[in-house]
Structure 1
Amino acid sequence: MTGDDHRMNDFDFLTGSWNVTNRRLATLFSGSDEWETFPGVSTCNPIFEGGCNTEEIAFPTLGSSGLTLRLFDTEREEWSIYWASSRTGLLYPPVVGTFTDGRGDFYGDDTHDGKPIRAHFIWSGITPTSARWEQEFSADGGRTWESNWVMTYTRA
């Protein structure tokens, strides 16, 4: 273990139950500004004394749910975040990163409609009773980004 062991507890704030307001861009990479809003209910459980967690989120109005697995790499001292959707049954490629000054930035490679993209997850506005998660994608290798999903967490 190193002097930065606290990093493995970066996601402790998320433990427990949350109500989530979701805003998601209706059409990606089209220049659209049409957003859909829908509720979510999330529960996050720590594993490995904080060095891992699972978060299950239900989207009752969509009839689907998602699962996030977060793992802390103790050697590299960074998080890998994996997402799976009940709609596809697939585990998507991870985004990887760290927290600095209360903000988490996590980047990874993925595809959208068969084309390579960069993905960026942002955690911010973290308090004991609230948090904000945002997802943005880049189709040009990270030169420009399009925000496409924002979750506002409120402690249940």
Structure 2
Amino acid sequence: MNDVRDQASAVHDFDFFHGDWDVAHRRRTDFLDPDSDWEEFPAVTHCRPLFGGAANIDEIDVPSRGWTGLTLRLFDVETGLWSLNWSSSRTGRLFPPVFGGFAPDGRGVFHGDDTHEGKEVRVRFVWSGISGTTARWEQAFSRDGENTWLTNWTMDFTRREAG
């Protein structure tokens, strides 16, 4: 874990995300086509801690699209890495996880393997722009062994006002 934070602080890497957020989605209409159009839609998410911060779960509600999703994040004390596990009401299945962590600069990078429309893809999630009131997540796919990446989904989070 040379470029990833020490385990004592890494176990709390996602503490910033606890609470309620408004979400602005921007997603390609075809995840594998760099020339495809982008669609935008709003959502709301709530994240709560588990295991004293070493895990959390968030549920995202996307009423304009008619689905909800959830992410379960787990910190593996043996490897010092996080696994991010996604599911959605559209499929009812758990997608393969991505694994990684946060660098000292606060940027989180996570990788995994999956398929999209029957094609094998390498998946990358990046967390950045993290503050007390904002965060950004992006997803990219590679089909050429991580030589090139196509960003196909971003979410910009703004903390909801209490009240």
TM more than 0.5: yes
Q: Percent identity?
A: 53
Q: What is the rounded CA distance, in whole Å, between the counterparts of 1:48 and 1:15 in structure 2?
A: 13
The answer as to whether partners of 1:26 and 1:32 remain within 8 angstroms in 2 is no
Identify unmatched segments of 5+ residues in structure 2: 1-5
Partner of 1:132: 136
- Return the TM-score normalized by structure 2: 0.92
Partner of 1:73: 76
Q: What is the rounded CA distance, in whole Å, between the counterparts of 1:40 and 1:129 in structure 2?
A: 16
Partner of 1:122: 126
Does structure 1 residue 52 correspond to structure 2 residue 63?
A: no
Q: What is the rounded CA distance, in whole Å, between the counterparts of 2:64 and 2:28 in structure 1?
A: 16
Q: What is the rounded CA distance, in whole Å, between the counterparts of 2:93 and 2:63 in structure 1?
A: 20
The answer as to whether partners of 1:80 and 1:95 remain within 8 angstroms in 2 is yes
Does structure 1 residue 152 correspond to structure 2 residue 147?
A: no
- Return the TM-score normalized by structure 1: 0.96
- The structure whose residues are more often strand, as a share, is 1
The answer as to whether partners of 1:132 and 1:152 remain within 8 angstroms in 2 is yes
Q: What is the rounded CA distance, in whole Å, between the counterparts of 1:19 and 1:28 in structure 2?
A: 23
Shift of 1:31: 2.8
Q: What is the rounded CA distance, in whole Å, between the counterparts of 1:120 and 1:151 in structure 2?
A: 14
Partner of 1:43: 46
Shift of 1:115: 1.5
The answer as to whether partners of 2:18 and 2:46 remain within 8 angstroms in 1 is yes
The runs of at least 4 consecutive aligned structure 1 residues that moved more than 4 Å come to: none
Does structure 1 residue 18 correspond to structure 2 residue 26?
A: no
Shift of 1:54: 0.3
Q: What is the rounded CA distance, in whole Å, between the counterparts of 2:34 and 2:159 in structure 1?
A: 33
Shift of 1:44: 0.2
Q: What is the rounded CA distance, in whole Å, between the counterparts of 1:134 and 1:50 in structure 2?
A: 23
Identify unmatched segments of 5+ residues in structure 1: none
Q: What is the rounded CA distance, in whole Å, between the counterparts of 1:41 and 1:51 in structure 2?
A: 23
Shift of 1:91: 0.1
The one-letter code sitting in structure 2 at the alignment partner of 1:142 is E
Partner of 1:92: 95
Partner of 2:117: 113
The answer as to whether partners of 2:68 and 2:88 remain within 8 angstroms in 1 is yes
What is the CA RMSD across the aligned residues, in angstroms? 0.9
Shift of 1:142: 1.1
Shift of 1:32: 1.9
The answer as to whether partners of 1:18 and 1:154 remain within 8 angstroms in 2 is yes
